[in-house]
Amino acid sequence: MFFTMHLGPFPLIVVVVLALFLPPVVWERLLPDQVEGWTPRFARLAASDWYLTVSLENERLLARLRRGVRYGMLTVAVVSVVFVGLWNIQTTASTTGDTDQEFVPEPLADYGRATMLAQHWNMFAPTPVRADGWYVIPATLANGTVIDLYRGGGTPSYSKPEDVAATYQNQRWRKYLQNLRQQSYTDHRLYYGRYLCREYNRNHDVTVQTFNIEYVKEQTTLAGRERPVENVTLWEHDCFA
């Protein structure tokens, strides 16, 4: 994932989180002198039975406690598996248009939300993203020259870049601009337009007058088929209006 996809710090975060679930034998091999120091004091006391006198009654108490913990963990595991199964069935039904069918009872749904098991798979299902694209921002300067403001100058070109991911400055800009093309983020386009005016005019003698924020939308098709391309004007901006 880290070498094949542009996901920012997400792959590193996943590695760190998964490391927490490595079994004790791994840490004992890697850091034999440090493991005991990581163990909470109450756990060390419980393991050594320091606070319990070894007797038949205490052994029975510990046995009941262990049995209760074991049954409790088993109950949580069974409920979680049942919830995940029903939740996936309900999610699949909703993607096929059957939105009236409820497979998860409300108390069980509350459990799923509280434990963060209620996940959505919109990124991967029912289908991957069917369209992608790149930005072109043709801008008119005070002397009449037309440049591509998105790439800092040069003649605007609507041809597909060799590496679309490389046209974003970083992961945060990629996420911001991908959101900007959505209808729900229309109000943010004004602020992005003001930012572009301010940044360019502050560093250049010949100022930007007007520009359009355009998104070249390319449909994702099967290999070998033509990919339809559409130029979508997201915003028209006047720096001095």
Render the burial of 5-36: b for 16+ CB within 10 Å, e for the rest.
eeeeeeeeeeeeeeeeeeeeeeeeeeeeeeee
- The verdict on 2 and 65 lying in the same domain is no
Q: Specify if 91 maps to a domain.
A: yes
Render the burial of 191-230: b for 16+ CB within 10 Å, e for the rest.
ebbeebbeebbeeeeeebbbbbbbbbebeeeeeeeeeeee
Q: What pLDDT, on the 0 to 100 scale, is given for residue 198? A: 96
- The verdict on 137 and 122 lying in the same domain is no
Give 124's pLDDT tier (boundaries 50, 70, 90).
low
- The verdict on 234 and 172 lying in the same domain is yes
- The verdict on 160 and 232 lying in the same domain is yes
- The verdict on 99 and 8 lying in the same domain is no
Of 45, 235, 58, 59, the C-alpha closest to 138 is 235
Whether 37 has a pLDDT exceeding 70, the answer reads no
Domains contained in the chain, number? 3
Rg for the chain (alpha carbons), in Å? 29
Task: Name the residue range of residue 6's domain.
Answer: 1-38
- The verdict on 105 and 90 lying in the same domain is yes
Q: Specify if 45 maps to a domain.
A: no
Q: What pLDDT, on the 0 to 100 scale, is given for residue 99? A: 56
